[in-house]
Amino acid sequence: MFDANKVKNDCILWIREFFENNGKDCNAIVGISGGKDSSIVAALCAEALGKNRVIGVLMPNGEQSDIDMAKLLVSHLGIKSYTVNIHDAVEGIKSNLPFELSTQSAVNLPPRIRMSVLYAVSQSHNGRVANTCNLSEDWVGYSTRYGDSVGDFSPCSGITVTEMKQIGALLGLPEVLINKAPSDGLTGKTDEDNLGFTYAELDEYIRTGNIKNPVSKERIDRLHRINQFKLELMPAFAPEIEY
């Protein structure tokens, strides 16, 4: 049985231990999208380190329809924040490429630029970049390689979407942030539209192995299999050398 309060408290202690061992007195740098995951990660970091050691970074690509949700989170937590509009960077790269980007490349370019922005903020503010992915997304590879899939520490990559919502409530986050329909912020579709199954189905399957819809099972298994490489270290050739 999932004990949300215990997991929340254990995660807060884990964050403190990470910073104690990997950047004492450093700041947590969190990309704030306006969704539940970045909101919960920022809230956990604020609980663990104090709000003065958390910096939120809002990174709209031109106009962002739900930017008010990101601003609400920053205001609610009382954390320092920067807004960096990545539109010119995205369009600048596109206009200088000697070929037309594939649809998937165009979708994944903004999150990769956002991660570059986060590390620019981090290196300029004595920081460590928080990964904001959850277990459900990681399970089916629903992230951009070298975009939102990376970071210096990952508080919630072992927690499902269903469990994240419970933790968000315990952290006292506004209900609109916790239960806002998750979207990729890239295609204008919800996560579940893109995935082809619900998070409720996925989360039950992850935790219990049970799933009623065979079509969903087949799709989840396939996505899990083909996206495993995103969670692994880059393969490196190890030559056998004798001197």
Q: What is the pLDDT along the chain (243 residues), one digit of tens a residue?
A: 899 999 999 999 999 999 999 999 999 999 999 999 999 999 999 999 999 999 999 999 999 999 999 999 999 999 999 999 999 999 999 999 999 999 999 999 999 999 999 999 999 999 999 999 999 999 999 999 999 999 999 999 999 999 999 999 999 999 999 998 776 555 667 888 889 999 999 999 999 999 999 999 999 999 999 999 998 999 999 999 999
Q: What is the pLDDT of residue 187?
A: 60
Range of the domain at 43: 4-180
**Does the residue 115 lie in any domain?**
yes
Q: Is residue 233 part of a domain?
A: no
Q: How far apart are CA 37 and CA 18, in angstroms?
A: 19
> What three-state secondary structure class fits 75?
helix
- Report if residue 122 sits inside a domain: yes
Residue 77 counted as domain residue:
yes
In a domain, 242, yes or no: no
Q: Is 72 helix (H, G, I), strand (E, B) or coil?
A: helix
The count of structural domains within the chain is 1
Kindly report the CA angle at 14 between 229 and 22, in degrees rounded to 5?
Answer: 75
Select from 28, 42, 45, 7 the least CA-distant residue to 167.
7
Residue 73 domain flag:
yes
- CA 156/CA 132 separation, integer angstroms: 7
Domain of 69: which CATH number? 3.40.50.620
